[in-house]
């Protein structure tokens, strides 16, 4: 699975933290079943579309678990929206070579970073961000 690097509104590069395998049909079905129990008023078509969007957005098993758990723990409204699941993501900032050097100049140890090659480009990630 190819990771997608994005540029946020602050002109910072980031990538999601999920490195596990893509969610399998059984894992998706189990998580949809949990949501069906928690949101019994949702129509069958909703679950079909949500399943399609989970697959289309290449959810990993861990991201799916975290997204569903987040909704179950935090949802406060009457009706669930597909975006409540799909928008869930955990991302880390990618530092370019220049940003990595600037961080060192400001006193951050190079040992606080982990080097990553993504899409044939070299980036650095703060190790502490990987454990969040």
Bridge partner list, 6: 14
Q: What is the pLDDT of residue 38?
A: 94
Residues for the chain: how many in total?
132
Q: What pLDDT, in 10s, does the model give residues 101-120?
A: 999 999 999 999 999 998 88
The structural domains of the chain, with segments of one domain joined by +, span 6-16+91-130, 25-86
List the one residue out of 79, 104, 88, 80 whose CA is nearest residue 54.
88
Phi then psi for residue 109, to 5 deg, are: -70, 140
pLDDT along the chain (132 residues), means of 10: 70 87 96 96 96 96 97 90 94 92 92 90 87 62
């Amino acid at each position: 699975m190819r990771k997608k690097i994005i540029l946020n509104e602050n002109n910072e590069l980031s990538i999601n933290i999920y490195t596990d395998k893509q969610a399998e049909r059984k894992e998706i079905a189990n998580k949809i079943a949990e949501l069906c129990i928690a949101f019994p008023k949702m129509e069958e078509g909703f679950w079909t579309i949500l399943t399609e969007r989970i697959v289309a957005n290449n959810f990993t098993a861990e991201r799916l678990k975290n997204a569903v758990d987040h909704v179950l723990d935090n949802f406060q409204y009457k009706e669930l929206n597909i975006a409540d699941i799909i928008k869930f993501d955990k991302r880390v900032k990618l530092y370019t070579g220049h940003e990595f050097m600037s961080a060192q100049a400001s006193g951050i140890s190079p040992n606080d970073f982990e080097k990553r090659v993504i899409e044939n480009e070299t980036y650095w990630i703060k190790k502490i961000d990987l454990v969040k």
